[in-house]
Amino acid sequence: MGIGRIEFIRLTGLALTGTMIDPFQAVLTHDEYYINKKLGIMFTIPKSWGFIKIQDFGKLKEEQILDDYCDYIKDDIYEELGDPICIVTKYYENLPKHEGLFSPTIILNVNHETDLEGSSLLDFESVLNISKLATSNILKEFKVIKKYEPFEISGVSFYEFDATYLYEHKDLIDPIKVDLKIFKAKHNGYFYDFNCHQSIEKKQIAHNEFKAFKNSIKLI
């Protein structure tokens, strides 16, 4: 059995979005701590950063311009993908001084393997390759520029990639080159995906914050 069209779209969720769970309703958050017992994960977010509510993320998705044909069917794409588990960003407060700034952001996405028909017949690296292909068909000029050796967190293998893409938004005159760090893992039947967005071009850099975040992840 192969991966169908809907599953192909959903695999993009390993880099974009995933199961809908509002972090303010289904998990424990305290200061910089995030604990989700249902999904078996905990981590700390960068100091002075904050959560974005899932409903606020909808507007951001609607106004982002996707690659070519996908922009015309993005409502269908987002319907299949659902919403992220958790979004953390640097400029989370709606303040005048933040207007027009690119905000470094961490997005957690989770999909259960049963949501992806045919994925159980593939090894995880094959699923990763399909995910990258699907993402490259949606994000403008998406390119993986570095693949790291796998590392372990709580005895689970994680795969790390660096990538870039162009972020276009209807309110932006020019697109923004985004630098993306990706961590992916499979644990207890779930695909876990962490996407860390920054823009070196716009001097909105969060290397240290992303490193500290990575080191704080625990699977429970």
Domains of the chain (ranges, CATH numbers): 5-219 (3.40.1000.10)
pTM: 0.78
Position with higher pLDDT, 205 vs 72? 205
For the stretch 119-129, pLDDT in tens is 555 678 887 88
Average of pLDDT values for 67-82?
Answer: 52
Average of pLDDT values for 49-55?
Answer: 77
Secondary structure tally for the chain: helices H, strands E: 7, 13
Residue 70 to residue 76: CA distance in whole angstroms: 9
Question: Where are any strands of DSSP class E within the chain?
Answer: 28-30, 33-36, 41-44, 50-51, 64-65, 86-89, 105-112, 140-147, 151-153, 156-169, 176-187, 190-198, 218-219
Question: With bands split at pLDDT 50, 70 and 90, how would you rate the model's confidence at 69?
Answer: low
Lowest mean pLDDT among 58-62, 69-73, 104-108: 69-73
187 contacts 174 by C-beta, under 8 angstroms: no
Percent of the chain past pLDDT 70, that is, above it, reads 70
Instruction: Check whether 216 has a pLDDT greater than 80.
Output: yes
For the stretch 151-175, pLDDT in tens is 999 999 999 999 999 888 776 678 8
